[in-house]
Copies of this chain bind each other. A is one copy, B any other.
């Protein structure tokens, strides 16, 4: 069954908070990790692993290896995580009739060489979580309805799974908060983040559908497509939010939220 869903950021500052606001976020992320410690598997939706223009991905490789930190910042996590291949296979096989989805093996189909690299997009949420098997899902910029439908499909499948599963949405929000950042400044980043935090607090993500494509492009989030999946999950399995916090210590917005049954 689905035991909960967390929205977690993947900026280094979430691990090494430079100010009070980010410290609060950090503390909430630690609390989320503790609250989800009874999950047996995490389904981790990440925007910084494989990125395919028209297909969702399910990583099938057995071993998941931290490989690519951001700015060479060391975030202490385990050397290796394991894929929950049974659940990964169920998700892939269940999804493929209705969704463009690929099963991503690497090197060999099983054994020691069946490995896949992890980036900061996975490593930073994992830092806050107890170690559990993972299913990595990689979003794509599909039609909004399709992403919501995928969330609904996922919620129903996880609900029927014979184990406790938590969904982790690795997501950062507007990336154009600072002239000094790589994407410069756009007022839409601030507005996007304000509305995301409002939605997280209310527990109602339907407002995502009010954002225009142009607004999203200007706000430069990596969260939007994964949050549409989260919206689909919440449509099937209503959950209540807690531990919502927000910080923007550099050029991108980071938020935490835990959705509980």
Q: Is the CB–CB distance between A102 and B51 below 8 Å?
A: no
Q: Is the CB–CB distance between B55 and A115 below 8 Å?
A: no
> Distance (Å) between the CB of A89 and the closest chain B CB?
11
Q: Is the CB–CB distance between B52 and A117 below 8 Å?
A: no
Say whether, besides A102-B102, A113-B119, A119-B113, A107 and B53 are in contact (CB < 8 Å).
Answer: no
Alpha-carbon gap, A124 to B50, bound state (A): 24
Encoded as 1 (CB less than 8 Å from any B CB) or 0, chain A from 98 to 130 comes to 000011111111000101010101000000000
Q: Is the CB–CB distance between A48 and B119 below 8 Å?
A: no
User: For the complex, is A54 an interface residue (Cβ under 8 Å from B)?
Assistant: yes
| A117 / chain B contacts, CB cutoff of 8 Å | 67, 106, 117
Alpha-carbon gap, A102 to B105, bound state (A): 14
Query: How many copies are assembled?
Result: 2
> Distance (Å) between the CB of A126 and the closest chain B CB?
16
Pick from B52, B68, B106, B109: contact of A103, CB below 8 A.
B52
User: For the complex, is A70 an interface residue (Cβ under 8 Å from B)?
Assistant: yes
User: For the complex, is A226 an interface residue (Cβ under 8 Å from B)?
Assistant: no
Q: Is the CB–CB distance between B107 and A55 below 8 Å?
A: no
Encoded as 1 (CB less than 8 Å from any B CB) or 0, chain A from 70 to 81 comes to 100000000000
Alpha-carbon gap, A119 to B113, bound state (A): 9
Interface residues of A (CB under 8 A from B): 48-55, 67-68, 70, 102-109, 113, 115, 117, 119, 121
- Identify 4 new A-B residue pairs, CB closer than 8 A, beyond the known A50-B105, A52-B103, A113-B119: A48-B108, A51-B105, A67-B117, A70-B113
